[in-house]
Amino acid sequence: MSAQKRFFLFAVCLIFSAWGLRAAGRSAKAADSPSGQVRAYVANNKAAILQEFAGLLSIPNLASDQENIRRNAARIVSMLQQRGVEARLLELPGAPPYVYGELRVPGATRTVAWYAHYDGQPVDPAQWATKPWTPVLRDGPLGEGEKEIPLAGATGPFGDEWRIFARSASDDKAPIMAMLAALDALRAAGGSPSVNLKFFFEGEEEAGSPHLQAAFEKYAGVLHADAWLLCDGPVHQSRRLQLYFGARGVTDAELTVYGSMRVLHSGHYGNWAPNPAMLLAHLLAGLRDPDGAIRIPGYYDDVRPLTAEENQALDAVPAVEPQLRAELGLDWTEGHGQSLSRLIAMPAINLRGIESGHVGAKTQNAIPTEATASLDFRLVPDQTPEKVRAKFEAYLREQGYFLVSEAPDAEARKTHPKIIRLRWGPGYPAGRTSLSLPFSRAVITAMEGASGTPVIKMPTLGGSVPMYLFQQMLKAPVIGLPIVNHDNNQHAANENLRLKNLWDGIEVFAVLFARLGHDWQ
């Protein structure tokens, strides 16, 4: 640590202590620090926080489910208003409403805006141990002899390792709940925010945020802020808090390869009739090697090299690979031994799913008529969805395929020997914020000052959040601050939130509300 940095932290501690003493003066029951007071508030109010959270989790939240997505938005508006936050819906035709809330703080000179999303990934109920939108409390992860604890009327004590299971328990309703509870906690501790607060909660993030750009255009004035904090994604696998200064961009595609128009007996036609599943396997195998390296010519041309500061930050990331390998049952990983944090700073193509014919009990001695694969592409600066799409399409054409957007009819089949139906989802590029901006330093200082431990600084998150839009459209720096556990089954069945992450999340939000205005030099 440099001498300069030591002095900086010392100064910050002075400010923090002064604020702490002021807060303590207001409350007879005050603990030694605002952090301590917040922690005490949380400890005494876990049951009420969990009940309110369970209510929010019980509303189905697929972006495509218009009725229920609006019920979520209305509930969150009401939760904000109960805390004196001026809240309303920002509407855009065809989009789930954006929940907007504003809390002006007398004397505050800066405004910090907080992003989260209230929609969730699609669910496959058959894969869930209990219903996705019926929150269930268990005393540990699934499959480790865990017990279910009745949630209704639960009074505690609540184990730190207990988990609440529901779609979006982690991704991404947890930060919304934590921010609101942080306001309660801060006030109960006699404190108040040090910056003006704006809350902005999206309802179609898991659908690829197709209207976010338009929303930012329309509501640029309303959403003006000095900086943004994006509260999405998980903490580090070491369970330590992390900040992410960038996020990979994303686009996705579904491709279908066609064989015979009707299912054929594999004995009578096998070796002559094309097998679309086998053709697809060849296409996919040509796309990337088993280690993850992408084989599309020129695919890495647009990758911006990491800066020295980013490389340093990556070197300081704790090694979690041995723990993860044990936890996930992996004796082999992609990337030739490079660290997870370095690998997610690179472009990736992920095969999300593949389907053709039948396996298992439904297996037939037949040649399938079509084969479908679903891919997601993770982008880094300076890749763009447009460039990635062009390169992928060129690759498919080089393999001899004619690209269409609808299933080909008999006529189209006559003129093209090999046809792929290709459907692109929405997408957006990566974003990255410099680690050395004043706002970046303020957030780091506030968090490290309150916890006394270094925060992990990730130059980029592996997952995708549309950070680029905040930078490009709202002209503000943006940093990611996740609070949920990494082992949360996010995007899959049995999604869950570890309770300790909720309590810690409330605390970190309360600390940032209280300190950001002071630490921002």
**The amino acid at 449:** G
Does 486 participate in binding its own copies (rule CB under 8 A)? yes
Q: Which is nearer to its own copies, 188 or 212 (CB)?
A: 212
Residue with token string 């002899």 = 145
Q: Which is nearer to its own copies, 203 or 408 (CB)?
A: 408
Residues 367-386, interacting with its own copies (CB under 8 A): 367-368, 371-374, 376, 378
Q: Which is nearer to its own copies, 1 or 126 (CB)?
A: 126
DSSP 8-state code for residue 360: G
**Mask for 179-208, x = binds its own copies (CB under 8 A):** ---------------------------x--
Q: Which is nearer to its own copies, 9 or 366 (CB)?
A: 366
Q: Which is nearer to its own copies, 35 or 384 (CB)?
A: 384
Residues 231-250, interacting with its own copies (CB under 8 A): 233-234, 248, 250
CA separation for the pair 114, 483 (Å, rounded): 13
Q: Which is nearer to its own copies, 29 or 268 (CB)?
A: 268
- Which span (31-39, 105-113, 187-195, 279-287) binds its own copies, by CB under 8 A? 279-287
Does 211 participate in binding its own copies (rule CB under 8 A)? no
Beta strands in 361-494 (DSSP E): 366-367, 370-379, 402-404, 419-424, 431-432, 456-458, 478-480
**Mask for 1-40, x = binds its own copies (CB under 8 A):** ----------------------------------------
**What is the phi/psi pair of residue 485, to 5°?**
-65, 145
User: In residues, how long is the chain?
Assistant: 521
Residues 385-444, interacting with its own copies (CB under 8 A): 408, 410, 413-418
Q: State the minimum distance, in angstroms, from the CB of residue 395 to its own copies.
A: 15
The 3-state secondary structure of 235-297, one letter per residue: CCCCCCCEEECEECEEEEEEEEEECCCCCEEHHHHECCECCHHHHHHHHHHHHECCCCCECCC
Residues 346-365, interacting with its own copies (CB under 8 A): 346, 348-365
Residues 316-335, interacting with its own copies (CB under 8 A): 321, 326-335
CA separation for the pair 509, 184 (Å, rounded): 11
Q: State the minimum distance, in angstroms, from the CB of residue 217 to its own copies.
A: 26
Alpha-carbon separation of residue 363 from 266, 267, 280, 353, 368 (angstroms): 12, 14, 19, 18, 11
Q: Each residue of 181-215: b (16+ CB within 10 Å) or e?
A: bbbbbbbbbbbbbbbbbbbbbbbbbbbbbebbbeb
Does 492 participate in binding its own copies (rule CB under 8 A)? yes
Q: Residue 521: count other Cβ atoms within 10 Å of its Cβ.
A: 10
